[in-house]
Amino acid sequence: MWNKRLKLASALLAASLMGGALAGCTSGGNNGGGNTGSSDSGGSAGTGKTVTLKILHNWNGSSGGDVDMTPIAKAIEEKTGVKVEFDYTKGSEVEKVNTIFATQDLPDIYTGPAWGGELDGIIKAANEDQLVDISGKLANYPNLEKEIAKENMPPALYDKAEGAFGDKRYLLYQNQPATDKDAMDWLYGFYIRKDIAQKVGVDPQSVKTKDDLYSLLKKIKDAGLKENGLPVIPLGGFHSGWAVTIGNTMFYGADYADKGDGTLEHSFFTKAYEDYTLYYRKLISEGLLDPEAFTQTDPIANEKVQQGRIAILAAHYPAILDASKEYVKAHPGSDYVPIGPLERAGAEPNRPADLAIQGNNVTAITKACKNVDAALKLLDFLASDEGFKLVHYGIEGVHYDMVNGKPVAKKEFFDKFATDTTGKAKKNEGFGIGFESMTGQDRTNSLGGDIWADQDRIAAMENARKILRPNGIKVISAYNPGDVISKSPEWDSLKPSMDQISDVWQQAIFAKSDADALKILNALRDQMKKTGYDDAMKYVNDNLKGKEVVKLGLPN
Amino acid sequence: MTASLLWKRIWRHRLFYLFLLPGIVWFFIFSYVPLFGIQVAFRDFRFTGGFTGSPWAGLKYFRQFFDYYLAGDLIRNTLIISAMKLIVGFTMPIVLAILLNEVRSLKFKKTVQTLSYLPYFVSWVVVVTLMQRLLTPYGGPVNDFLVASGAVKDPIQFLNNTTWFYQIIVGSDVWKNIGWNSIIYMAAIAGIDQQLYEAAKIDGAGRFRQIWHVTLPGIRGISVILFILATGSLMSAGFEQLLLLNGPATAAIGSVLDVHVINSGISEGRLSYAAAVGLFQSVIALILILTVNRIARKVSDVSLF
């Protein structure tokens, strides 16, 4: 009897173990932007049946609210018949692009950054038949047609992301300014704590050259300042070195430079790049630049700022204002103020700031999309003025009122959002949860400005703008050789070497000597030449002959 | 035993053999099915073609790796770090097991054992964050102590520093794994016949002599087997730890194959290239295991197969 029971128990145990193992092998759920359909999927737009579409919002750190359905998402569903389920990216956007296509774990709609490796990945996907060609349907969706019209896109980017596919259209390019006044200047620069500038007796606006900046950092270091018993770091940045490298504009104008004979070469091969590297090497070796800046996470970086331990921050101004908000509140007079404006290599003193504003988002419908027409209907609505206003200002009469033809935020919501430091209150209404990325050309200023912006913040930004942009701004419309080189026949073999430039530069600035730093740069230069750099640059020079090329640019 | 007899015997004990099934299924799914994907290393991977439909590329990606100007550095760094981890990480658990075996207070022994196992269950992300907090020159407790005690004048940049890199890598690896890896040696020591110790005592052997002549020979077999297995990972220095602890300042000695594979595959989208480098690692690891196994069989009569 006992033997039988033992056998039965053993069999049950074995079966449960095996079942557990097999269960572990199956997909545990539907997380991610998979193309698993919901019960109401497959319906068509316009038939009155709600279609649920999954959108991958491939912006690292983006997130939704605490509620399943926000009022804005609900209004969009009522207007378009499309219910949106967002999947957000945590981590590298480039990795996410490569992963979703390699594993075929595709959302219905992809939306993400329109620069660097992210855009290259999505163009590769288009070339490999992973995206839906919308060229035949664009005529029915005028707002989408407008946002990718040749005259509404930077020319080089149009050639790369739209014209490169012949008559086919795969990508929707978004967030480029609709008018000059919609151009967004994030005010990248070096910012110093006002109280620290006073302590070391330096007027931030007197700092103009790289030598001035070095002297200022040295003065801060030599002053031996402490905050809560911890040393104050002269220069710091945010995650993974963002954006301490912006001092490069003091050494060279843009990623590609004129060799002097009218032909271009990558700035990495110039003497100016070596000077830029050695300057930063000096900052690191003398303890003026936070050596942890390139390896730290954002929480650690923010902690340093919030403890008042960074004297000068390099980044764009909104990030600095956000990170320092709490510390400034507790220590009035400790706000960060702009340094300079600093010299720019090769730029005339009265030249406006050349901003590389080229939009920042690209959207595509993947081949896994359950209902392409529904997706297009949704995207076309979001790109309309009505959609833009709904996403940015909310529901008229609920979140805002129109006063003298301009949207004005309802006090109740304005106060609610202003006092909520977590940002969840805003997200729970449907703001900032991903729809903004897909609203076509940026018309924030044309349609009424940012009605939710904090007035102090606007004043700080205006003040910084007056200092940093004495000659105004100019949006770059010239060709970027970086977009052209990626179409050269050598690109496949050259790209892996060119992708190393940033890593190699970081290694060089930590080198033990100047000679070692240059040796590190030269090793990569040799590798780039070995993998087809010369031929690729000949291709660039041939293709850009007679065209206006970006030779001066500021980060944006 | 003939095949039919073997099958009869298996059938007779079928319930016990059923327990093997989850393990077999696991190995089949996670270790044998992925072998199918190795062909990607010899193909130009295309999203549309997938594993089987992408065009053949021959040895293109292997050549690309050996043409890469840092390939030599990557292999060298991987071997140096792995060898250091192998030497220190292999011997330290044996030392800990022997020391614990000599402890007479059961309570103390259990406490030390538990404390030494715990780090094994902590993720590298947490370990590295802890290390960053402890070792930072900007107010980290380690530097505060060193400066306050007069041991150093200025705080030391432990991380992002080639001078301390190997010590940090090997030290943290030992700290994390020593307890877990010592379990098997503790078990082996527990299996040694106590009469051997008695006999050694009668012959006048002290504690050290007993360790030398009884304990160490008693765990020789298991040590050799574990050493052979450990040599298989000589070409992989530890992905998570190196990804998190290596930075631009230490890249010259800290860039290893594991991280290079992930970066080129996932970050740069060069899946075929990454598969080629990964396959290269695996082939070298297999050769190492076979070689060490053969040497071990000749030298000590102990081997895996």
What local confidence, expressed as pLDDT, does residue A475 receive? 81
pLDDT of residue A555: 82
Q: Pick the residue with more confidence: A370 or A41?
A: A370
Q: What average pLDDT does this structure show over A217-235?
A: 94
Task: Write out chain A residues lying below 8 Å of B248, CB-based.
Answer: 294-295, 503, 506-507, 509-510
What are the DSSP calls for A112-141, one per residue?
A: EE-SHHHHHHHHHHHHTT-B---TTTGGG-
pLDDT in tens, B268-301: 889 999 999 999 999 999 999 999 999 999 888 8
Q: Are A530 and B48 in contact (CB < 8 Å)?
A: no
- A131 with A385: CB under 8 angstroms? no
Q: Report the percentage of chain B scoring pLDDT > 70.
A: 100
Please give the Cα distance from A290 to B249 (Å, whole number). 12
A-contacting residues in B 32-61 (Cβ below 8 Å): 45-48
AA letter at A404: N
Nearest to B270 among A20, A496, A524 (CB): A496
Quick one: pLDDT at residue A29? 35
The more confidently predicted of residues B215 and B139 is: B215
Residue-wise pLDDT for A210-223, tens only, equals: 999 999 999 999 99
Tens-place pLDDT, residues B75-116: 999 999 999 999 999 999 999 999 999 998 999 999 999 999
Cβ neighbours, 10 Å, residue B222: 17
pLDDT of A30 reads 36
Q: Residue A35: which pLDDT band, with cuts at 50, 70 and 90?
A: very low
Is 90 exceeded by the pLDDT of residue A12?
no
Cβ separation of A17 and B19 shorter than 8 Å?
yes
The token pair at B137 is: 């020159």
Picking from A99, A128, A304, the nearest residue to B48 by CB comes out as: A128
Give yes or no for a contact between A138 and A380, defined as CB atoms under 8 angstroms apart: no
Region A90-102 average pLDDT: 91
Residues of A with CB below 8 A from B17's CB? none
pLDDT of amino acid A11: 53
Residue A314, pLDDT score: 97
Can you tell me the mean pLDDT for A240-266?
A: 95
Tell if the CB–CB gap between A25 and B29 is shorter than 8 Å: yes
Cβ contact, residue pair A94, B269, below 8 Å = yes
* Residue A358: pLDDT band with limits 50, 70, 90: low
Inter-chain touch A499–B268, beta carbons under 8 Å? yes
Q: Cβ separation of A128 and B19 shorter than 8 Å?
A: no
Q: Is the pLDDT of residue A74 over 80?
A: yes
| pLDDT > 70 fraction of chain A, expressed in percent and rounded | 91
Q: Which residue of B has its CA nearest to A21?
A: B22
Per-residue pLDDT band at B119 (split at 50, 70, 90) = very high
Please, which residues 75-94 of chain A have a Cβ atom closer than 8 Å to chain B?
A: 92, 94
Taking CB atoms and an 8 Å cutoff, what residues of chain A touch B28?
A: none
Helix (H) or strand (E) holding B155: none
Q: Which residues of A touch B264 (CB under 8 A)?
A: 496
Q: How confident is the model at residue A321 (pLDDT cuts 50, 70, 90)?
A: very high
Any chain A CB within 8 A of the CB of B247?
Answer: yes
Choosing among B130, B264, B268, B277, which should be mutated to test the A contact, i.e. which has the most A CBs within 10 A? B268
Q: Chain B, 214-243: which have a CB under 8 Å from a chain A CB? A: none
Please check whether residue A395 touches B, CB under 8 A.
Answer: no
Residue A184: the pLDDT is 83
Greater pLDDT, A482 or A80: A80
Query: Touching check for B19 and chain A: CB below 8 Å?
Result: yes
Three-state DSSP class for A205?
helix
pLDDT confidence of B20, banded at 50, 70, 90? very high
Q: Does A16 touch chain B (CB under 8 A)?
A: no
Mark yes or no for CB contact A21/B22 under 8 Å: yes
And the tokens for A498? 């060119």
Which residue from B minimizes the CA distance to A13?
Answer: B19
User: Cβ separation of B268 and A98 shorter than 8 Å?
Assistant: yes
Query: Which pLDDT does position A40 carry in this prediction?
Result: 43
B252 part of contact set with chain A, CB < 8 Å:
yes
Taking chain A, what is the end-to-end CA distance rounded to the nearest angstrom?
A: 79
Please give the Cα distance from B120 to B128 (Å, whole number).
Answer: 13
pLDDT digits (tens, 9 = 90+) for A97-114: 999 998 899 999 999 998
pLDDT band at A47 (very low <50, low <70, confident <90, very high): low
Give kind and range of the element (H or E) at residue A307: none
Q: Would you call A90 exposed, middle or buried from its count of C-beta atoms within 10 A (0-12, 13-18, 19+)? A: exposed
* pLDDT over 50 (residue A37): no
**CB–CB of A511/B54 below 8 Å?**
no
- CB-side neighbour CA atoms (13 Å) of A36: 10
pLDDT tens sequence across A256-274 = 999 999 999 999 999 999 9
pLDDT at position B124 = 94
Taking CA atoms, what residue in A is nearest to B250?
A507
pLDDT of residue A360: 85
* Shortest distance, CA A503 to any CA of chain B (angstroms): 7
Tell me the mean pLDDT in the region A468-484: 88
| Other beta carbons less than 10 A from residue A309's beta carbon | 21
| Across A353-363, average pLDDT | 84
- Judging contacts by C-beta atoms under 8 Å, the chain A residues touching residue B57 are none
**Considering only residues 80 to 139 of chain B, which have any Cβ-Cβ distance to chain A shorter than 8 Å?**
132, 136, 138-139
Does A125 touch chain B if contact means CB atoms closer than 8 Å? Answer: yes
| Predicted pLDDT of residue B275 | 95
Q: Name the nearest CA neighbour of A467 among A190, A180, A182, A177.
A: A190
The answer, yes or no, to whether residue A347 has pLDDT greater than 70, is yes
Segment A403-431 mean pLDDT? 93
Q: Is the pLDDT of residue A42 over 60?
A: no
pLDDT of A115 > 60? The answer is yes
Using H for helix, E for strand and C for coil, what is the string for B172-188?
Answer: HHHHHHHHHHHHHHHHH
- What does the pLDDT read at residue A135? 95
Q: Give B166-208 pLDDT, tens digit per residue.
A: 999 999 999 999 999 999 999 999 999 999 999 999 999 999 9
Q: Is B123 helix (H, G, I), strand (E, B) or coil?
A: coil
Which residues in chain A have Cβ-Cβ distances shorter than 8 Å to B153? none
Mean pLDDT computed over every residue of chain A: 89
pLDDT higher than threshold 80 for residue A200: yes
Q: Is the dihedral of CA A228, A230, A236, A239 positive or negative?
A: negative
Of all residues in chain B, the one with the smallest CA distance to A117 is B268
Chain B CB within 8 Å of residue A402 CB:
no
Single pTM value for the model: 0.85
Q: Which chain A residues touch B69 with a CB distance below 8 Å?
A: 523-524, 526-527, 530
Q: Which residues does chain B have within 8 Å of residue A294's beta carbon, measured at their own beta carbons? A: 247-248
Chain A residues closer than 8 Å to B52 by CB: none
Q: What sections of A331-423 are H helices per DSSP?
A: 372-383, 385-393, 411-419
Chain A hits for B132, CB-CB cut-off 8 Å, are: 292, 296, 300
C-alpha–C-alpha distance, residues A132 and A98, integer Å: 18
Selecting from A18, A229, A523 the residue whose C-beta is nearest the C-beta of B21 gives: A18
Q: What percent of chain A has pLDDT over 90?
A: 73
Flag whether residue A7 sits within 8 Å of chain B, measured between CB atoms: yes
Q: Determine the longest span between alpha carbons in chain A, in angstroms.
A: 99
Supply the pLDDT for residue B238: 84
Q: Check whether B216 has a pLDDT greater than 70.
A: yes
Taking only the tens place, the pLDDT of each residue in B155-171 is: 899 998 999 999 999 99
